[in-house]
Amino acid sequence: MLVPRIKPGIWVKAQLRLADLEGRIFTVLRRGDDDGGTIIVKIVDRGGMADVLAQTTATSGTGELAWYRPLGPEPVSDGDADAYIARQGDFDPDIWALEVMDRDGTYEISGTVLDQG
Q: What are phi and psi of 100, to 5 degrees?
A: -120, 130
Per-residue confidence (pLDDT) for residue 4, from 0 to 100 = 66
Does 4 fall in a domain? no
Q: Which domain holds residue 96?
A: 26-103
- In angstroms, the CA 104 to CA 116 distance is 24
Q: Give the mean pLDDT of 57-83.
A: 87
User: If you ran DSSP here, which 8-state letter would residue 91 be given?
Assistant: H
| pLDDT, greater one: 80 or 106 | 80
pLDDT in tens, 82-101: 999 999 999 999 999 999 99
pTM of the entire predicted model = 0.90
Does 84 fall in a domain? yes
Q: What percent of the chain has pLDDT over 90?
A: 61
Does 108 fall in a domain? no
Does 111 fall in a domain? no
Does 46 fall in a domain? yes
The 3 state secondary structure assigned to 31-63 is CCCCCCCCEEEEEECCCCEEEEEEEEECCCCCC
115 three-class SS: coil
Per-residue confidence (pLDDT) for residue 60, from 0 to 100 = 66
pLDDT band per the 50, 70, 90 thresholds, residue 5: confident
Per-residue confidence (pLDDT) for residue 110, from 0 to 100 = 84
Whichever domain contains 34, its CATH number is: 3.40.1530.20
Number of domains, the chain: 1
